[in-house]
């Protein structure tokens, strides 16, 4: 059966930042590469959830918006013309007698490959919704789960609900744009990068903790104020607001991949130091991969991708001697310069 499907050296499932850089490095290793992305665009959650969020934790890039980083990664990924498939969710995998894999998508499409690199992030992400009566009435009108355009909040009274990295980052980004920024968090201490928390604590951002939202007031989709409650004393405060941004995390759904039989670890896929899963020929990188000392940074995923590519190539050609390749000494790239 696989004979009628074009055979690829490696198929990368996931077209987010880590998947895109992995595709570039795979091309540099002269592997026939395919990228399959569930969304109708490349970039994963970054351009969807954080297009204007400033990213600072990639070496050599002092700061760059999520949208700009995505554009750069897409351009880089296309250097060696990988096949890109959008709006497909891979649901099934079958190992063939010759050791290759046949992938089947939910729409019935099939893909034949020697190796698989999973770069799906946490899978399909859905924001945890604000569990208050009538919250749906305000969604995308004055209540948001992500920020697409910072200018939308210019001169407004904005409340951010949450205490993780995203909530702290948005509070810092909005502090100089909004008329007033208030952060409400139900726990006594914030979680996230210390320097960002310190910046927020030393800014004009008004912080209420441990408080939580208990009621929204407004009409016709426009919030006018919210009632907050102290989680210990139950004292309440009413805060006038124009917009609320909710950062309560995500529901994670790995979909059918979770049923492929790979060893899992708290919702992630366990890998070894070669980024190999418990199924030979299937590798995992980025947020979906779990190993001791894992650092969930985009920069960390940029290291994991090339490791997976190198070992995917060795899996397909175990007799080959794999030499180290750098972009600075890779002749085709040098000639382009």
How confident is the model at residue 125, as a pLDDT? 66
When pLDDT is averaged across residues 40-58 and rounded to a whole number, the result is 81
How confident is the model at residue 336, as a pLDDT? 64
How confident is the model at residue 133, as a pLDDT? 93
Residue with tokens 């979906």: 288
Residue with tokens 């050296």: 9
Question: Residue 295 pLDDT > 90, yes or no?
Answer: no
Q: How confident is the model at residue 127 (pLDDT cuts 50, 70, 90)?
A: confident
Question: Residue 52 pLDDT > 90, yes or no?
Answer: no
When pLDDT is averaged across residues 31-49 and rounded to a whole number, the result is 87
Q: What angle do CA 252, 41, 284 make, to 5 degrees?
A: 50
Question: Residue 320 pLDDT > 80, yes or no?
Answer: no
Q: How far apart are the first and last CA of the chain?
A: 43
Q: How confident is the model at residue 193 (pLDDT cuts 50, 70, 90)?
A: confident
Q: How confident is the model at residue 244 (pLDDT cuts 50, 70, 90)?
A: very high
Question: Residue 171 pLDDT > 80, yes or no?
Answer: yes
Question: Residue 191 pLDDT > 70, yes or no?
Answer: yes
Percent above pLDDT 90 for the chain: 72
Is 259 buried (19+), middle (13-18) or exposed (0-12) by CB count in 10 A? Answer: exposed
- Give residue-wise pLDDT tens across range 65-108: 888 999 999 999 999 999 999 999 999 999 999 999 999 999 99
Question: Residue 202 pLDDT > 70, yes or no?
Answer: yes
Question: Residue 1 pLDDT > 60, yes or no?
Answer: no
Q: How far apart are CA 195 and CA 159, in angstroms?
A: 21
When pLDDT is averaged across residues 103-120 and rounded to a whole number, the result is 96
Least confident of 53-57, 117-121, 219-223: 53-57
Q: How far apart are CA 163 and CA 185, in angstroms?
A: 5
How confident is the model at residue 9, as a pLDDT? 97
How confident is the model at residue 218, as a pLDDT? 96
- What is the homologous superfamily of the domain 2-125+251-336 according to CATH? FAD/NAD(P)-binding domain (3.50.50.60)
- Give residue-wise pLDDT tens across range 246-275: 999 877 677 788 889 999 988 889 999 999
Q: Which residues of 191-211 are buried (b: 16+ CB within 10 A; e: fewer)?
A: ebeeebbebbeeeebebbbbb
When pLDDT is averaged across residues 119-143 and rounded to a whole number, the result is 88
Look at the domain 129-248 and name its fold: FAD/NAD(P)-binding domain (3.50.50)
271 CA to centre of own chain: 19
Where in the chain is CATH 3.50.50.60?
2-125+251-336, 129-248
Nearest to 305 by CA among 26, 27, 64: 26
- Give residue-wise pLDDT tens across range 149-162: 889 999 999 999 99
């Amino acid at each position: 059966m696989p004979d009628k499907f074009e055979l690829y050296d490696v198929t990368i499932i996931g077209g987010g930042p880590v998947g895109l850089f992995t595709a570039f490095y795979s091309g540099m290793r002269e592997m026939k590469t395919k990228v399959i992305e569930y969304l109708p665009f490349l970039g994963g959650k970054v351009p969807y959830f954080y297009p204007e969020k400033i990213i600072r934790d990639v070496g050599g890039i002092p700061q760059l918006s999520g949208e700009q980083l995505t554009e750069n990664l897409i351009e880089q990924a296309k250097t060696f013309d990988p096949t890109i498939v959008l709006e497909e969710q891979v649901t099934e995998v079958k190992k063939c007698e010759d050791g290759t894999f046949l992938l089947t998508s939910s729409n019935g499409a099939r893909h034949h490959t020697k190796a698989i690199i999973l770069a799906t992030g946490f899978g399909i992400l859905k924001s945890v919704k604000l569990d208050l009566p009538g919250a749906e009435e305000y969604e995308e009108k004055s209540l948001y789960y992500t920020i697409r355009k910072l200018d939308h909040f210019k001169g407004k009274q904005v409340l951010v609900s949450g205490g993780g990295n995203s909530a702290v980052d948005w509070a810092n980004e909005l502090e100089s744009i909004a008329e007033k920024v208030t952060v409400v968090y139900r726990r006594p201490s914030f979680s996230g990068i210390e320097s960002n928390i310190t910046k927020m604590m030393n800014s004009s951002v008004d912080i209420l903790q441990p408080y939580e939202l208990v009621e929204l007031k407004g009409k016709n989709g426009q919030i006018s104020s919210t009632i907050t409650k102290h989680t210990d004393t139950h004292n309440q405060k009413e805060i006038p607001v124009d917009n609320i941004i909710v950062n309560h995390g995500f529901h994670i759904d790995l979909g059918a991949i979770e049923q492929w039989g790979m060893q899992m670890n708290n919702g992630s896929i366990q890998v070894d130091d070669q980024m190999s899963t418990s199924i030979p020929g299937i590798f995992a990188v980025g947020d979906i991969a779990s190993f001791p000392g894992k650092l969930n940074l985009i920069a960390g995923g940029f290291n994991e991708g090339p490791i997976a590519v190198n070992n995917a190539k060795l899996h397909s050609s175990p007799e080959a001697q794999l030499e180290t390749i750098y972009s600075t000494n890779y002749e085709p790239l040098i000639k382009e310069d």
